[in-house]
Amino acid sequence: MTNDVPLSGDKYVLPRNESEFERLNLQHKYIAKVVFDGKLVFDKSIKFDDKCCVLDSGTGTGIWAIELANGVPDFVEIHACDVSKANFTPDPPNNVHFSVASVTSLPPGWSNKFDFINQRFLLGSLLADDWHQALSEIYKVLKPGGAVQLVEFDARSPAPETPVHAQVRDAVWRVFDALGLKYDVAVHLSEMLETAGFVSVVEEIRRLPLGKTWGEIGVQGTISLGGSLRNVCGVMVKAGAVSSKEEYENLMDKLEEEWDIHGNNYPCYIVCARKPL
Protein backbone atom coordinates (compact mmCIF):
# COMPACT_ATOMS: atom_id res chain seq x y z
CA MET A 1 0.00 0.00 0.00
CA THR A 2 1.13 3.54 -0.61
CA ASN A 3 0.74 6.40 1.84
CA ASP A 4 -0.38 9.42 -0.16
CA VAL A 5 -2.15 12.60 0.85
CA PRO A 6 -5.87 12.25 0.01
CA LEU A 7 -7.68 14.98 -1.88
CA SER A 8 -8.81 18.01 0.09
CA GLY A 9 -12.30 17.48 1.51
CA ASP A 10 -11.82 13.73 2.05
CA LYS A 11 -14.40 12.79 4.73
CA TYR A 12 -13.93 9.01 4.67
CA VAL A 13 -14.64 7.58 8.13
CA LEU A 14 -12.80 4.27 7.65
CA PRO A 15 -9.02 3.73 7.83
CA ARG A 16 -6.77 3.03 4.86
CA ASN A 17 -4.51 0.16 5.87
CA GLU A 18 -3.78 -3.51 5.15
CA SER A 19 -6.66 -4.73 7.32
CA GLU A 20 -9.15 -2.47 5.53
CA PHE A 21 -7.71 -3.50 2.14
CA GLU A 22 -8.45 -7.15 2.96
CA ARG A 23 -11.90 -6.34 4.36
CA LEU A 24 -12.87 -4.38 1.25
CA ASN A 25 -11.87 -7.26 -1.02
CA LEU A 26 -13.83 -9.77 1.07
CA GLN A 27 -16.79 -7.38 1.10
CA HIS A 28 -16.65 -7.24 -2.70
CA LYS A 29 -16.95 -11.05 -2.94
CA TYR A 30 -19.78 -11.03 -0.39
CA ILE A 31 -21.73 -8.32 -2.22
CA ALA A 32 -21.17 -9.94 -5.61
CA LYS A 33 -22.68 -13.17 -4.27
CA VAL A 34 -25.64 -11.98 -2.19
CA VAL A 35 -26.62 -8.88 -4.20
CA PHE A 36 -25.50 -9.63 -7.76
CA ASP A 37 -25.87 -13.43 -7.91
CA GLY A 38 -22.17 -13.79 -8.62
CA LYS A 39 -22.06 -11.06 -11.28
CA LEU A 40 -20.67 -7.52 -11.35
CA VAL A 41 -23.45 -5.77 -13.27
CA PHE A 42 -27.09 -6.00 -12.22
CA ASP A 43 -28.68 -4.86 -15.51
CA LYS A 44 -28.50 -7.87 -17.86
CA SER A 45 -28.95 -5.64 -20.91
CA ILE A 46 -25.51 -4.03 -20.38
CA LYS A 47 -22.97 -5.24 -22.96
CA PHE A 48 -19.30 -4.32 -23.06
CA ASP A 49 -18.62 -3.98 -26.76
CA ASP A 50 -15.86 -2.48 -28.90
CA LYS A 51 -14.66 0.98 -27.71
CA CYS A 52 -16.66 0.63 -24.50
CA CYS A 53 -15.41 2.77 -21.59
CA VAL A 54 -16.24 2.04 -17.93
CA LEU A 55 -15.73 3.94 -14.64
CA ASP A 56 -15.64 2.51 -11.12
CA SER A 57 -16.26 5.54 -8.89
CA GLY A 58 -15.01 5.41 -5.30
CA THR A 59 -13.11 2.28 -6.26
CA GLY A 60 -11.35 1.57 -2.94
CA THR A 61 -8.95 -1.28 -3.75
CA GLY A 62 -10.07 -1.42 -7.38
CA ILE A 63 -11.28 -5.01 -7.01
CA TRP A 64 -14.52 -4.44 -8.98
CA ALA A 65 -12.63 -2.88 -11.90
CA ILE A 66 -9.99 -5.63 -11.87
CA GLU A 67 -12.56 -8.43 -11.85
CA LEU A 68 -14.46 -6.73 -14.66
CA ALA A 69 -11.22 -6.51 -16.67
CA ASN A 70 -10.68 -10.23 -16.18
CA GLY A 71 -14.10 -10.97 -17.66
CA VAL A 72 -14.32 -8.64 -20.66
CA PRO A 73 -12.24 -8.19 -23.85
CA ASP A 74 -8.96 -6.29 -23.50
CA PHE A 75 -10.28 -3.45 -25.68
CA VAL A 76 -12.73 -2.39 -22.93
CA GLU A 77 -11.17 0.67 -21.26
CA ILE A 78 -11.73 0.69 -17.50
CA HIS A 79 -11.04 3.63 -15.20
CA ALA A 80 -11.14 3.43 -11.40
CA CYS A 81 -10.99 6.55 -9.22
CA ASP A 82 -10.90 7.33 -5.53
CA VAL A 83 -9.96 10.32 -3.37
CA SER A 84 -6.93 8.38 -2.12
CA LYS A 85 -4.63 5.83 -3.77
CA ALA A 86 -3.64 4.26 -0.44
CA ASN A 87 -5.73 1.12 -1.02
CA PHE A 88 -5.21 0.75 -4.79
CA THR A 89 -4.23 -2.79 -5.83
CA PRO A 90 -0.72 -2.76 -7.33
CA ASP A 91 -0.10 -3.97 -10.90
CA PRO A 92 -3.68 -3.97 -12.24
CA PRO A 93 -4.48 -5.31 -15.73
CA ASN A 94 -3.26 -3.13 -18.60
CA ASN A 95 -6.75 -1.86 -19.43
CA VAL A 96 -7.46 -0.70 -15.84
CA HIS A 97 -6.39 2.88 -15.17
CA PHE A 98 -6.34 4.20 -11.58
CA SER A 99 -6.87 7.91 -10.88
CA VAL A 100 -6.99 10.02 -7.73
CA ALA A 101 -10.24 11.93 -8.20
CA SER A 102 -13.41 12.66 -6.26
CA VAL A 103 -16.83 11.87 -7.67
CA THR A 104 -17.80 15.42 -6.71
CA SER A 105 -15.17 16.82 -9.11
CA LEU A 106 -14.32 14.40 -11.90
CA PRO A 107 -11.69 15.38 -14.50
CA PRO A 108 -13.05 17.83 -17.13
CA GLY A 109 -11.61 15.64 -19.89
CA TRP A 110 -14.00 12.86 -18.93
CA SER A 111 -17.15 14.64 -20.12
CA ASN A 112 -19.38 12.25 -22.14
CA LYS A 113 -16.68 9.57 -21.90
CA PHE A 114 -18.22 6.55 -20.18
CA ASP A 115 -20.74 3.95 -21.30
CA PHE A 116 -21.17 2.52 -17.80
CA ILE A 117 -20.42 3.73 -14.25
CA ASN A 118 -20.41 1.64 -11.09
CA GLN A 119 -20.45 3.12 -7.59
CA ARG A 120 -21.19 1.47 -4.27
CA PHE A 121 -21.10 1.98 -0.50
CA LEU A 122 -20.16 5.66 -0.31
CA LEU A 123 -22.53 6.47 2.56
CA GLY A 124 -19.46 6.85 4.80
CA SER A 125 -17.63 9.01 2.26
CA LEU A 126 -19.93 11.71 0.90
CA LEU A 127 -21.48 14.53 2.90
CA ALA A 128 -25.24 14.93 2.54
CA ASP A 129 -24.72 18.11 0.52
CA ASP A 130 -22.25 16.32 -1.80
CA TRP A 131 -24.59 13.67 -3.16
CA HIS A 132 -26.40 15.90 -5.65
CA GLN A 133 -23.06 17.22 -6.92
CA ALA A 134 -21.74 13.66 -7.23
CA LEU A 135 -24.72 12.55 -9.30
CA SER A 136 -24.40 15.67 -11.44
CA GLU A 137 -20.75 14.74 -12.12
CA ILE A 138 -21.72 11.16 -12.99
CA TYR A 139 -24.34 12.52 -15.38
CA LYS A 140 -21.72 14.81 -16.96
CA VAL A 141 -19.17 12.06 -17.66
CA LEU A 142 -21.67 9.50 -18.97
CA LYS A 143 -22.26 9.31 -22.71
CA PRO A 144 -25.86 9.96 -23.80
CA GLY A 145 -27.62 6.63 -23.30
CA GLY A 146 -24.95 5.50 -20.83
CA ALA A 147 -25.89 3.63 -17.66
CA VAL A 148 -25.09 4.03 -13.96
CA GLN A 149 -25.31 1.43 -11.20
CA LEU A 150 -25.43 2.62 -7.57
CA VAL A 151 -25.38 0.29 -4.56
CA GLU A 152 -25.94 1.38 -0.94
CA PHE A 153 -27.32 -0.36 2.14
CA ASP A 154 -29.80 1.13 4.60
CA ALA A 155 -27.90 1.00 7.89
CA ARG A 156 -30.94 2.36 9.77
CA SER A 157 -33.07 -0.70 9.24
CA PRO A 158 -31.61 -3.90 10.74
CA ALA A 159 -34.00 -6.83 10.78
CA PRO A 160 -34.82 -8.03 13.31
CA GLU A 161 -34.17 -4.91 15.37
CA THR A 162 -32.46 -6.56 18.33
CA PRO A 163 -31.42 -4.45 21.38
CA VAL A 164 -27.65 -4.16 20.84
CA HIS A 165 -28.13 -3.80 17.10
CA ALA A 166 -30.46 -0.86 17.66
CA GLN A 167 -28.00 0.67 20.15
CA VAL A 168 -25.08 0.51 17.70
CA ARG A 169 -27.26 1.67 14.80
CA ASP A 170 -28.50 4.71 16.70
CA ALA A 171 -25.02 5.65 17.93
CA VAL A 172 -23.50 5.45 14.44
CA TRP A 173 -26.49 7.33 13.02
CA ARG A 174 -25.97 10.20 15.48
CA VAL A 175 -22.27 10.41 14.66
CA PHE A 176 -22.83 10.33 10.89
CA ASP A 177 -25.48 13.02 11.25
CA ALA A 178 -23.09 15.17 13.30
CA LEU A 179 -20.41 14.74 10.61
CA GLY A 180 -22.86 15.73 7.88
CA LEU A 181 -22.97 12.29 6.24
CA LYS A 182 -26.21 11.06 4.68
CA TYR A 183 -26.90 7.89 6.68
CA ASP A 184 -30.21 7.23 4.88
CA VAL A 185 -28.92 7.79 1.34
CA ALA A 186 -29.94 4.33 0.11
CA VAL A 187 -33.66 5.09 0.26
CA HIS A 188 -33.24 8.39 -1.62
CA LEU A 189 -31.05 7.24 -4.53
CA SER A 190 -33.90 6.83 -7.02
CA GLU A 191 -35.38 10.27 -6.45
CA MET A 192 -31.93 11.90 -6.48
CA LEU A 193 -31.10 10.26 -9.81
CA GLU A 194 -34.37 11.51 -11.29
CA THR A 195 -33.66 15.01 -9.95
CA ALA A 196 -30.22 14.86 -11.61
CA GLY A 197 -31.89 14.19 -14.97
CA PHE A 198 -31.54 10.42 -15.27
CA VAL A 199 -34.27 8.30 -16.84
CA SER A 200 -35.30 4.63 -16.74
CA VAL A 201 -34.58 4.54 -13.01
CA VAL A 202 -35.02 1.03 -11.62
CA GLU A 203 -34.64 0.10 -7.94
CA GLU A 204 -34.33 -3.34 -6.37
CA ILE A 205 -33.77 -4.33 -2.75
CA ARG A 206 -31.74 -7.35 -1.69
CA ARG A 207 -30.90 -8.47 1.86
CA LEU A 208 -27.40 -8.61 3.39
CA PRO A 209 -27.31 -11.63 5.75
CA LEU A 210 -25.34 -11.34 9.01
CA GLY A 211 -24.36 -14.05 11.47
CA LYS A 212 -23.74 -17.81 11.68
CA THR A 213 -27.45 -18.60 11.33
CA TRP A 214 -27.00 -17.88 7.59
CA GLY A 215 -24.02 -20.24 7.28
CA GLU A 216 -20.76 -19.26 5.59
CA ILE A 217 -22.29 -16.30 3.74
CA GLY A 218 -23.55 -14.90 7.05
CA VAL A 219 -20.05 -15.22 8.51
CA GLN A 220 -18.72 -13.29 5.50
CA GLY A 221 -21.35 -10.65 6.18
CA THR A 222 -20.21 -10.34 9.79
CA ILE A 223 -16.59 -9.90 8.72
CA SER A 224 -17.52 -7.48 5.92
CA LEU A 225 -20.15 -5.22 7.48
CA GLY A 226 -19.26 -5.93 11.09
CA GLY A 227 -15.68 -5.13 10.16
CA SER A 228 -16.71 -1.76 8.76
CA LEU A 229 -18.60 -0.98 11.98
CA ARG A 230 -15.56 -1.99 14.01
CA ASN A 231 -13.31 0.18 11.87
CA VAL A 232 -15.28 3.36 12.60
CA CYS A 233 -14.26 2.97 16.24
CA GLY A 234 -11.88 5.94 16.08
CA VAL A 235 -14.64 8.21 14.80
CA MET A 236 -17.08 6.95 17.46
CA VAL A 237 -14.64 7.63 20.31
CA LYS A 238 -13.63 11.03 18.93
CA ALA A 239 -17.28 12.06 18.60
CA GLY A 240 -18.03 10.97 22.17
CA ALA A 241 -20.56 8.30 21.13
CA VAL A 242 -18.61 5.84 23.31
CA SER A 243 -16.11 6.53 26.07
CA SER A 244 -13.29 4.31 24.84
CA LYS A 245 -12.10 1.86 22.20
CA GLU A 246 -12.61 -0.96 24.72
CA GLU A 247 -16.24 0.00 25.29
CA TYR A 248 -16.97 0.06 21.58
CA GLU A 249 -15.22 -3.25 20.89
CA ASN A 250 -17.18 -4.86 23.72
CA LEU A 251 -20.39 -3.50 22.20
CA MET A 252 -19.41 -4.91 18.80
CA ASP A 253 -18.70 -8.33 20.38
CA LYS A 254 -22.23 -8.33 21.79
CA LEU A 255 -23.65 -7.20 18.44
CA GLU A 256 -22.00 -10.06 16.57
CA GLU A 257 -23.32 -12.49 19.18
CA GLU A 258 -26.82 -11.17 18.43
CA TRP A 259 -26.25 -11.64 14.69
CA ASP A 260 -25.18 -15.25 15.28
CA ILE A 261 -28.30 -15.96 17.33
CA HIS A 262 -30.96 -14.04 15.39
CA GLY A 263 -29.62 -14.02 11.81
CA ASN A 264 -29.95 -10.29 11.21
CA ASN A 265 -29.83 -8.55 7.84
CA TYR A 266 -29.70 -5.10 6.22
CA PRO A 267 -31.64 -4.03 3.13
CA CYS A 268 -29.33 -3.24 0.21
CA TYR A 269 -30.55 -0.98 -2.60
CA ILE A 270 -29.40 -1.44 -6.20
CA VAL A 271 -30.46 1.49 -8.35
CA CYS A 272 -29.83 1.56 -12.12
CA ALA A 273 -30.52 4.46 -14.47
CA ARG A 274 -29.55 5.96 -17.82
CA LYS A 275 -28.56 9.33 -19.16
CA PRO A 276 -31.09 10.35 -21.84
CA LEU A 277 -30.06 9.99 -25.48
The rounded mean pLDDT for the chain is 91
Q: Which amino acid is at 256?
A: E
Residue 11 placed within a domain: no
Residue 5 placed within a domain: no
Q: What is the mean pLDDT of residues 124-147?
A: 96
User: Residue 253: pLDDT band by 50, 70, 90 thresholds?
Assistant: very high
Return the minimum-mean-pLDDT range out of 17-31, 137-151, 215-229, 258-272: 17-31
Residue 13 placed within a domain: no
Range of the domain at 262: 18-274
Residue 6 placed within a domain: no
How far apart are the C-alpha atoms of 83 and 102, rounded to whole Å? 5
- Pick the more confident residue, 13 or 126: 126
Residue 10 placed within a domain: no
CATH code (residue 233) = 3.40.50.150
Residue 4 placed within a domain: no
Domain count, the chain: 1
Q: What is the pTM of this model?
A: 0.92
Using one digit for the tens of pLDDT, what is the confidence trace for 155-195? Answer: 888 899 999 999 998 888 888 888 889 989 999 999 999 99
Residue 131 placed within a domain: yes
Residue 71 placed within a domain: yes
